[in-house]
Amino acid sequence: MEDKTMDMNHFKLQFITHFTDTYSYLDSARMALEGGCRWVQLRMKHASDEETEAVALEVQKLCRTYGATFLIDDRVELVRKLKADGVHLGKNDMPIAEARKILGKDFLIGGTANTFDDVRAHYEAGADYIGCGPFRFTTTKEKLSPILGLEGYRSIVQQMKAEGIHLPIVAIGGITLEDIPAIMQTGVTGIALSGTILRAANPVEETKKIVSQLKMNNE
């Protein structure tokens, strides 16, 4: 994450796409970008590689226009082929160390964690950031790990400090605008979300509110 840590806000909000009947993946990403988000993950869970590639090319183009970082969920080969900015990997995906061998050091690799042991393992494997959750129940992902709540983040952040592990931690799972101050106070670096933006009456305005809330928590 070397290049963009200069802008503290760039990696404070990751928007993750999700299938809806209302918006296409591309329109969802566009709304988040228009609202000021600069970190987008294309997550197309039940799509084929071919379908994902076609959408990814469009979302990547849009992200470049906005100077945003573009990640793809799960699909290491596609990330390599398209030269996306990075990939997000969970327990059932390619191991982070293997992905690092394929992608090299110039791609971002995020790893999912539910416990401090997960965080440490990803740190040792060379992850660039952690998606840590779920904060609370969400329907956006099936087969959720145990809910962390605020106490879960406090405990993980505290254990990271104790062991000198410095890695950005992004909270995820059922996060709303109102949750942001308390979540940021636990010491995490940022948040990732989907439903709060996609279910809002006005997703662009909702994103703007989230971005300003995160900026306030910076000051």
Ligand X SMILES: Cc1ncsc1CCOP(=O)(O)O
Ligand Y SMILES: Cc1ncc(COP(=O)(O)OP(=O)(O)O)c(N)n1
Binding-site partner at residue 138 among Mg ion, ligand Y, ligand X, none, CB < 5 to 8 Å by type? ligand X
Residue whose tokens read 């160390």: 97
Is 138 annotated to bind ligand? yes
Q: First CA to last CA across the chain, in angstroms?
A: 21
Is 112 annotated to bind ligand? yes
Among 28, 60, 112, 138, binds ligand Y (CB under 6 A): 112
Distance separating alpha carbons of residues 69 and 2, to the nearest angstrom: 13
The residues in 182-211 that bind ligand X, with binding defined as CB under 6 A, are 193-196
Helix axes 25-34, 49-66, angle to 10 degrees: 20
Binding-site partner at residue 95 among ligand Y, Mg ion, ligand X, none, CB < 5 to 8 Å by type? none
Give one DSSP letter per residue of 54-106, joined into a string. Answer: HHHHHHHHHHHHHT-EEEEES-HHHHHHHT-SEEEE-TTS--HHHHHHHH-TT
Smallest separation (angstroms) from ligand X to the CB of 95: 18
Residue closer to ligand X (CB basis): 111 or 133: 133
Residue closer to ligand Y (CB basis): 72 or 165: 72
Smallest separation (angstroms) from ligand Y to the CB of 175: 11
Enclosing H/E stretch for 5: none
Residue closer to ligand Y (CB basis): 74 or 128: 74
Q: Considering just the CA atoms, what is the radius of gyration of the chain in Å?
A: 16
- DSSP reduced 3-state for 39: strand
Interface with ligand X by CB under 6 A: which residues? 16, 133-134, 138, 140-141, 172-175, 193-196
Specify binding-site residues for Mg(2+): 74, 93
Interface with Mg ion by CB under 5 A: which residues? 74, 90, 93
